[in-house]
Amino acid sequence: MEKMHLVITGRRNTGKSSLINFILQQNKAVVSPIAGTTTDPVKKSYEIPGTASLILIDTAGIDDEGSLGKLRIEKTFEAIGQADAALLVISNNCFGVFEEELIQQFKSLRLPYLILHNKSDLSPLTPDLKKQLEEKYSKQIIETSTFGDKNTCLIKAISSLIQPAASSSLLDQFIRPGQVILLVTPIDSEAPTGRMILPQVQMLRAILDHHSIGIVVQPEEVGTFFANSTLQPDLVITDSQVFGKVASLVPESIPLTSFSIVLAHHKGNFEKYLAGTPKIEKLNEGDRILLLESCSHHVSCEDIGRVKLPALLRKYTGKQLEFDFIAGLDKIERPLTDYALIIQCGGCMITSRQLRNRLQPAIEAGIPVSNYGMTLAYLTGIFERTTAPFNYPRAF
**Tell me: the pLDDT tens digits for 317-360?**
999 999 999 987 788 889 999 999 999 998 887 888 888 888 98
Total domains in the chain come to 3
Q: Is residue 174 part of a domain?
A: no
How far apart, in whole angstroms, are the C-alpha atoms of residue 165 and residue 171?
Answer: 13
| 217 in the same domain as 121 | no
Q: Bridge-partner residues for 182, per DSSP?
A: 215, 236
**HEC assignment per residue over 44-72:** EEEEECCCEEEEEEECCCCCCCHHHHHHH
- Please give the pLDDT value at position 298: 43
Task: Kindly report which listed range (105-119, 153-167, 238-252) carries the lowest average pLDDT score.
Answer: 153-167
Confidence of residue 131 (pLDDT cuts 50, 70, 90): very high
Confidence of residue 166 (pLDDT cuts 50, 70, 90): very low
Query: Which residue did the predictor score with more confidence, 184 or 304?
Result: 184
Segment 139-145 mean pLDDT: 90
| 77 in the same domain as 19 | yes
How far apart, in whole angstroms, are the C-alpha atoms of residue 2 and residue 24?
Answer: 19
Q: Is residue 386 part of a domain?
A: no
| 253 in the same domain as 303 | no
How far apart, in whole angstroms, are the C-alpha atoms of residue 80 and residue 348?
Answer: 20
Q: What is the CATH number of the domain that holds 278?
A: 3.40.50.11410
Burial class (CB in 10 A: 0-12, 13-18, 19+), 326: middle
Q: Is residue 387 part of a domain?
A: no
Strands 213-217 and 180-184: parallel
End position of a domain, from candidates 167, 188, 214: 167
Q: What is the pLDDT of residues 189-230, one digit of tens each?
A: 666 667 788 889 989 999 999 999 999 999 999 999 999 999
CA distances from 225 to 215, 220, 228 (A): 10, 10, 5
Confidence of residue 39 (pLDDT cuts 50, 70, 90): low
Q: Inform me whether the pLDDT recorded for 165 exceeds 60.
A: no
Confidence of residue 42 (pLDDT cuts 50, 70, 90): confident
Query: 373, 392, 369: which is closest to 383 by C-alpha?
Result: 373
Q: Is residue 175 part of a domain?
A: no
- Please give the pLDDT value at position 192: 64
| 163 in the same domain as 27 | yes
Task: Kindly report which listed range (125-129, 253-257, 297-301, 379-383) carries the lowest average pLDDT score.
Answer: 297-301
End position of a domain, from candidates 115, 139, 167: 167
| 218 in the same domain as 291 | no
How far apart, in whole angstroms, are the C-alpha atoms of residue 56 and residue 42?
Answer: 8
| 36 in the same domain as 20 | yes
- Please give the pLDDT value at position 49: 77
| 294 in the same domain as 249 | no
Q: What is the pLDDT of residues 335-347, one digit of tens each?
A: 999 999 999 998 8
| 97 in the same domain as 38 | yes
Phi, psi of 234 (to 5 degrees): -85, -20
- Please give the pLDDT value at position 2: 65
Query: Which residue did the predictor score with more confidence, 48 or 225?
Result: 225
Read out DSSP for 236-284?
EEE-GGGHHHHHHHS-TTS-EEEHHHHHHHHHS-HHHHHHHGGGGGG--
| 283 in the same domain as 135 | no
Q: Are 40 and 88 in contact (CB under 8 A)?
A: no
CA distances from 99 to 14, 85, 94, 389 (A): 12, 16, 9, 47
| 369 in the same domain as 231 | no
| 213 in the same domain as 161 | no
Q: What is the CATH number of the domain that holds 59?
A: 3.40.50.300
H/E element, 201? helix 198-209
Q: Are 332 and 290 in contact (CB under 8 A)?
A: yes
Q: Is residue 172 part of a domain?
A: no
Q: Is residue 51 part of a domain?
A: yes
Q: Is residue 205 part of a domain?
A: yes
| 294 in the same domain as 366 | yes
Q: pLDDT averaged over the chain?
A: 87
Q: How many CA atoms lie within 13 A of 90 on its CB side?
A: 24
Domain that holds residue 332: 270-380
Q: Is residue 23 part of a domain?
A: yes
How far apart, in whole angstroms, are the C-alpha atoms of residue 339 and residue 362?
Answer: 9
pTM: 0.75
Segment 58-84 mean pLDDT: 91
End position of a domain, from candidates 167, 199, 219: 167
Segment 68-72 mean pLDDT: 90
Q: What is the CATH number of the domain that holds 188?
A: 3.40.50.11420
Q: What is the pLDDT of residues 292-302, one digit of tens each?
A: 998 654 444 45
